[in-house]
Amino acid sequence: MKKEKANQIIDLLQERHPDAICELEFTSVYELLVATVLSAQTTDVKVNQATRKLFQVANTPEKMIELTPQEIKGYIKTLGLSNSKAGYVHELSLQLLEKYNGQVPQTIEELTLLSGVGRKTANVVLSVGFQIPSMAVDTHVKRLANRLGFSNTDNVLIIEEDLKRQIPKYRWILAHHLLIFHGRRVCKARNPECDACTLQSYCKYYKSNASKR
């Protein structure tokens, strides 16, 4: 895909979703990091419900390690994989204190060394927390990248590079939010609302299914 076409897609998405932002609630980069780790395989709404209570008690690495993993689990038990996530949050908080003086690092290499932090989480922290141009690929971004023709693979690393190559760097952060919003609201995994979508002329998925309608 040429950058001109990619820009046209981003422009249309921006018109459709002018309110596209990170929907996780946080007041510090540390809170964002924890919330993003907790967001795996669950919704931002549920994460926010859990972190509103958790962050009242522990919103810094120092305060978090005063809790046991079991106590952390008590605050996030409504989330999937709460056992593992509680352990990750406790361990990464300890790592931040031991290696980074309690500060969240600003490189993907350092972030992905933290407990429970994969590339997607690291990219979210870099882009949302530090405004460093990055492209986080979650399930929505992955789906739309393939449907719109940015990529043609299930490999998230390749999808990330495909998107970064075709979308201008200064629009990476915005594009990430726009793709997520469109995936949540319109281009859903099941029963996408194609008739209400302004990207029909760009969409491989729509064109391939048009004859079946």
Residues forming the active site: 120, 138
Contacts within 8 Å (CB) and 24+ apart, 178-181: 178/10, 178/13, 178/14, 178/17, 178/20, 179/13, 179/140, 179/141, 179/144, 179/145, 180/20, 180/138, 180/140, 180/141, 181/13, 181/17, 181/19, 181/20
Using alpha carbons, list the distances in angstroms from residue 42 to 48, 59, 153, 165, 183.
11, 21, 23, 29, 15
Closest CA to 131 of 164, 102, 167, 174: 174
